[in-house]
Structure 1
Amino acid sequence: MRNLVRELRSGRGLSQGQLADALGVSRQTINAIETERYTPSLPLALELARYFKTSVEEIFDVDGDKARA
């Protein structure tokens, strides 16, 4: 599923490891989400939205309409 996790993370100057630590997941999980190999659970998607102070819909494109920045 297309998402803006990489853009949001790098825009804040965070490493994958730093974001993973903040969310209580592994760096590999963040990498898999960013490379679209893993769709996060609803609780993790909500945590990402809360962390970045945005909505799940702004981060994840379930319809495939958003172009990557």
Structure 2
Amino acid sequence: MDPALDYQASAELRSISGLADLNQDRKDRGSTFDTKRKEMMAELEKVDGYDAKIWYEPGLWVVPQDPCY
């Protein structure tokens, strides 16, 4: 991560009003997204004929580490 944009490491960024709320909202949205993704994957595993190799198909989109960053 670019140190100039790292909220936790920058005293200047931490002093901006409302930025803490924005940062927390981003983290919450990322966590919610990941939880829902895992729930959907668990539901797919219950389908007859499910094969875990589907997640390694070259055309599938890879979820980034921080989707809301």
Is the shorter-chain TM-score for this pair beyond 0.5, marking a shared fold? no
Bigger fraction of residues in strand: 1
Output the TM-score relative to the length of structure 1: 0.27
Task: From the CA coordinates, give the structure whose radius of gyration is larger.
Answer: 2
Output the TM-score relative to the length of structure 2: 0.27
Structure scoring higher RCO (CA < 8 A, sep ≥ 6) equals: 1
